[in-house]
Amino acid sequence: MTVTIGLRELLAALGGAAAAWPLAARAQQPAMPVIGFVRITTPNDSAPFLAAFKRGLGESGYVEGQNVAIEDRYAFNQVDRLPALMAELVGRRVAMLAATGGTISARAAKAATSTISIVFTIGDDPVRVGLVASLNKPGGNLAGLSVFSSRLGSKRLGLLHEMVPAASPIAILINPTNPEAEDELKDIQDTARSLGLQILVVSASKADDLNGAFETLVQQQARALIVGGDTFFTGQRAIFPFSPLAMACQPSGIHASRPRQAA
């Protein structure tokens, strides 16, 4: 399920941003409103998402270089870099912040400003994680989109078990720095207990962790893998040499080839 929260109002705010600037402030501002685009991954990993973001703006009448400018920033999978990136863009007096890639980015943006409009994308309930007051009336300066992917862990496990009932243990790969991971893991573990399945938890929060995680999967003879809903893993998807279902169907269990190092 995908839920949008107040996006129309924020786009209207963007359209009125240039007209609303005081004359004194305009002398210090670029000739067009600026959107700060922040993502927790690397520029290479983020390129498809930035391109899609620009296409979406174009469909709403905002074309980069014509009537809007975009300043993009990346945390290179280092959570502690996000506050400084947000503060830098706030200091540049951008018209809007696009905090993409999960709850961590959205929280960093919210902490950085209470006046600049913020658009977020997350996989959890924005009310539960404290981003907005309600889905119908978010209030404040935040709006965005939630796919509630962190609430689908039990469905993914159930589907995998239905299609490959002999697959056990089943591993789940999580990013421990992601605040959504705890709820996703609990959801999967609760479902696993009800199905009588053994769950193996492996974690990675940066590219250097992935080889160790996959070695653990092989050593523990996991028969299937669920990749947690995380921006970091989405950016690293090219290193996975198999899909979770194909991996579960292999007679020998997990394919033992080592993933290549991410750039």
Same-domain status, 140 and 224: no
In angstroms, rounded to a whole number, what is the distance separating the alpha carbons of residues 18 and 40? 28
Domain boundary, last residue among 104, 128, 147: 147
- What are the CA-CA distances from residue 176 to residues 14, 70, 135, 151, 205 (Å)? 35, 31, 27, 17, 7
Identify whether the C-beta of residue 30 lies closer than 8 Å to the C-beta of residue 21: no
Same-domain status, 34 and 155: no
Domain boundary, last residue among 147, 181, 200: 147
Q: What are phi and psi of 179, to 5 degrees?
A: -65, -20
Q: Is residue 263 part of a domain?
A: no
In angstroms, rounded to a whole number, what is the distance separating the alpha carbons of residues 248 and 263? 28
Contacts of 249 (CB under 8 A, 6+ apart): 164
Q: What is the pLDDT along the chain (263 residues), one digit of tens a residue?
A: 555 655 555 555 555 444 444 444 444 554 689 999 999 888 988 898 899 999 999 998 999 999 999 999 999 888 889 999 999 999 999 999 999 878 889 999 999 999 999 999 887 788 888 898 888 888 889 988 887 766 677 888 888 888 888 888 899 998 888 877 887 888 888 888 999 999 999 998 888 888 888 888 888 888 888 888 777 787 776 655 544 433 433 333 333 333 334 33
Same-domain status, 131 and 205: no
Q: Is residue 241 part of a domain?
A: yes
> What is the span of the domain harbouring residue 71?
3-147
Across-strand partners of 64? 68
In angstroms, rounded to a whole number, what is the distance separating the alpha carbons of residues 169 and 198? 5
In angstroms, rounded to a whole number, what is the distance separating the alpha carbons of residues 140 and 35? 18
Q: Is residue 256 part of a domain?
A: no
CB atoms within 10 A of CB 220: 15
Q: Is residue 254 part of a domain?
A: no
Containing H/E element for 145? strand 142-146
Number of folded domains in the chain?
2
Q: What CATH number corresponds to the domain at position 204?
A: 3.40.50.2300
Same-domain status, 111 and 65: yes
Domain boundary, last residue among 147, 179, 204: 147
Same-domain status, 127 and 161: no
Q: What are phi and psi of 185, to 5 degrees?
A: -65, -45
Same-domain status, 35 and 97: yes
CB atoms within 10 A of CB 30: 14
Residue 213, token pair as written in the block = 């995680």
Same-domain status, 155 and 242: yes
Q: Is residue 93 part of a domain?
A: yes
